[in-house]
Chains A and B, each alone.
Chain A
């Protein structure tokens, strides 16, 4: 499985993502600097966490308008599996590939801690390794993770099984406790929690590993 990690100025979980991908898939991902938007064909694209462009304007807003994202959106539209974590999710929401927006946490504070997530749908290429309805532990680290969309959109997301993860306890004010969603085609997942930080017992657990293993199982 050949992956690419897109790196923006201010990305800071790019190395963590690369380490996780290499540890789990056995293959070093391609690190794609945002200016190198004409990057080779890959099986999987990851948009890592961080503070691209300093989160100035709005989280993800500037990256969403970059050349490289035009390319990512095009490839995602053509079916290339794409995962956006934290800032990556914010960027995907800003591009419109995923619906809704990530607002400031309800308590206005940055929050970094392990949270319980409920796996809502195991019929996605990102979650097939989990047990439906089970709870997993994955850390969050964000200031703007409060998912918002209008009721009609939320109904659609839930109705179409596009909510991949919900917070067991609402940590940031997200509508319907949503932590991660997929696009209609199911090849794009955006989530606020960081599965790449939970891939070995020394880091506090391995629940995040299963997500990467699921992708790998699908892509071979």
Chain B
């Protein structure tokens, strides 16, 4: 080991660690000497984009993060909100993009494992997993392989730990051909007086390592996530970690059992940059030092060096600071669950991270420098130019266009995916995948959480500001459409190379839009993750700020769902349909272009219409509701008819061309169904509230017809196309 640690630091080695000359000079200055190899490794991961947010921090600070119900905003492992009755919802979304592209099964699986740990670290029992997935175009030779591996990886991990995967979204676009996005979200529930944080305290208190042993896997994962991809990226496969969901399940149970005692002072999972990042964060938050004896780290492989132990990203590990004297009791719990437990160090008052190995000091670094001296870049940015509106032609054949869209890659049923996820374990999933939001009952109560993940990347590319607003508004709308009160969001900001001003302009624009939407909707951001450098060979992805929204409903028996309930229901449209076909799915899929300006989000109208819908559901007047999004009115109508297995006949009274009325993606709209009498009552109430409302028609029969036959489709044929696209596509998966 001494041999490796004696490595002379050359400019090449510095560069290999992803540090530039200026950053290296800062390290030397902070330390007052040249770092050794282990120390350089630790600095490099702590200062990586992934850990330090050096390009994004400046802008992230501007996002709204506060509300009376926010217990803990960004900065901890996950965000915490008050959901009443002394309970808290704890949640976060995180990316695992680069590993999933290189090794889809393990990349996606460990993405789920990592986000679960972020949530149960804080004392919450995870109750729901969600995801947001972006793949390349269906015809790309790698797409099927990646879909197959990612879905199996998410299922393989989530199913085994026994946390239901209740929903998500999946998109296909050529911009992700060389850089897929795998964003995983976990929601947990804790008692408010049993929330755990990571700030270490108490000089002399023991630092305890629990979970799996440390191996050589995942070394430099955080650094890899902070660079662009090139064609030789596959050579980085060894930096992808391997997940063990069985150990994770044991770790959840053991941690929650220990959390029921008063033994824990602070706890932190070992995520990106492993032992290094967890100990530095705990020490930094607590304003203390850590002395770690690396000889005591449980090791999976022989002859590991300090460098390897500090940078390993082996999964299913946690670091804790215990109250003195509680070690034996804690150890008994971890032994019961057959997990490693080792006291590897103690808290000091030196303000330093001191590492010993074989009786020698092998690293000695100021904690503050590792955290606070990381460079913060205010990178130059250029806003995306405003586009002119584009004319969007009518289709040659309206029926065919609807059939192609509803039965195509973008709108087809995702059943093939979610049937591979156990979405029912824990016995509280009361709205399964396929609706507007997943709904999970809070165990033992009638309360429930509604969760939705959304973003429309093509809008964000065309107009980052409107796209950022829309992503937030869409989760708010989806959470509202099931009857829940949206409370807060987490986000996963996936962008290209921030060193390019146009990409940085997308980032800044999206954040400005998100911030405005959060403020207008009282819907703060409580946690999140930034994933930059999503590029391959210089070609960036569409800007993809994935949003995960969480809301609460007091009485889940009133929850709304999307299926029409038999024949004879009146169908109403709430909200105004404008000629907003620019950058619509119709334009993308049927006309093969994405030009013009995406739909405008009027946040005041969004709020007004949504509050109205929620009031109807809470009053028990409305049980069938669907928000309008990709594909517009006709797509929502088809969803409700297919889900309810009943046809529908509508007449649109509008000045718009019919294709605009059907496919426009105007925001703040909902489709409702109710018996005729209730529908009339709803119509009157909407009118009184000044909300645009129209009675469109009635459910019944076995066809979807619009305007006396302008659209006329067999529901059975449409359903078949809708259900079969994805299984057929995947049938030949390589």
- List A residues at the B interface (Cβ < 8 Å): 9-10, 12-13, 15-16, 19-20, 33, 35, 49-51, 53-56, 109-113, 139, 141, 143, 194, 196-197, 202-204
Encode B412-436 as 1/0 by CB contact (under 8 A) with A.
Answer: 0000001111111111011010000
What residues on B are CB-neighbors of A55 within 8 Å?
A: 160, 246
B250 touches A10 (CB 8 A): yes
Say which residue of B249, B420, B427, B430 sits within 8 Å of A112 (CB atoms): B420
Cβ of B242 to closest chain A Cβ, rounded Å: 13
Cβ of A79 to closest chain B Cβ, rounded Å: 30
A203 touches B250 (CB 8 A): no
B648 in the interface (beta carbon within 8 A): no
Most buried by A among B245, B249, B337, B427: B427
What residues on B are CB-neighbors of A19 within 8 Å?
A: 427
Q: Tell me the complex Cα distance, A53–B338, Å.
A: 11
A15 touches B426 (CB 8 A): yes
Q: Tell me the complex Cα distance, A58–B441, Å.
A: 33
A10 touches B246 (CB 8 A): yes
Cβ of B116 to closest chain A Cβ, rounded Å: 13
Complex: chain A residue closest to B420, CB-CB: A110
B540 in the interface (beta carbon within 8 A): no
A12 touches B161 (CB 8 A): yes
* A10-B425 contact, Cβ under 8 Å, with A111-B420, A202-B430: no
User: How many residue pairs at the A-B interface have CB separations less than 8 Å?
Assistant: 83
What residues on A are CB-neighbors of B418 within 8 Å?
A: 112
* A51-B425 contact, Cβ under 8 Å, with A111-B419, A202-B441, A203-B430: no
* A109-B420 contact, Cβ under 8 Å, with A10-B246, A10-B249: yes
Complex: chain B residue closest to A17, CB-CB: B427
- List B residues at the A interface (Cβ < 8 Å): 152, 155-156, 159-162, 244-247, 249-250, 336-338, 418-427, 429-430, 432, 441, 556-557
* Given A12-B160, A203-B424, 11 other A-B residues pairs in contact with their CB atoms under 8 A: A9-B246, A13-B425, A35-B336, A51-B160, A54-B160, A110-B156, A141-B422, A141-B424, A141-B425, A202-B441, A203-B430
Which DSSP category, helix, strand, loop or mixed, fits chain A's interface? mixed
6 A-B pairs with CB atoms under 8 Å apart are A9-B249, A16-B425, A110-B152, A197-B424, A202-B556, A202-B557
What residues on B are CB-neighbors of A111 within 8 Å?
A: 419-420
Cβ of A131 to closest chain B Cβ, rounded Å: 25
Q: Tell me the complex Cα distance, A197–B430, Å.
A: 11
Complex: chain B residue closest to A23, CB-CB: B427
* A54-B244 contact, Cβ under 8 Å, with A9-B338, A16-B427: yes
Complex: chain A residue closest to B439, CB-CB: A202
Q: Tell me the complex Cα distance, A139–B432, Å.
A: 12
Cβ of B380 to closest chain A Cβ, rounded Å: 47
What residues on A are CB-neighbors of B336 within 8 Å?
A: 33, 35
Q: Tell me the complex Cα distance, A33–B335, Å.
A: 14
Complex: chain B residue closest to A7, CB-CB: B253
A112 touches B424 (CB 8 A): yes
Q: Tell me the complex Cα distance, A56–B245, Å.
A: 11
B250 touches A141 (CB 8 A): no
Q: Tell me the complex Cα distance, A12–B161, Å.
A: 7
A51 touches B246 (CB 8 A): yes
Say which residue of B249, B423, B556 sits within 8 Å of A51 (CB atoms): B249
Cβ of A24 to closest chain B Cβ, rounded Å: 13
A110 touches B427 (CB 8 A): no
Most buried by B among A55, A109, A139: A109
What residues on A are CB-neighbors of B337 within 8 Å?
A: 9
Q: Tell me the complex Cα distance, A204–B420, Å.
A: 19
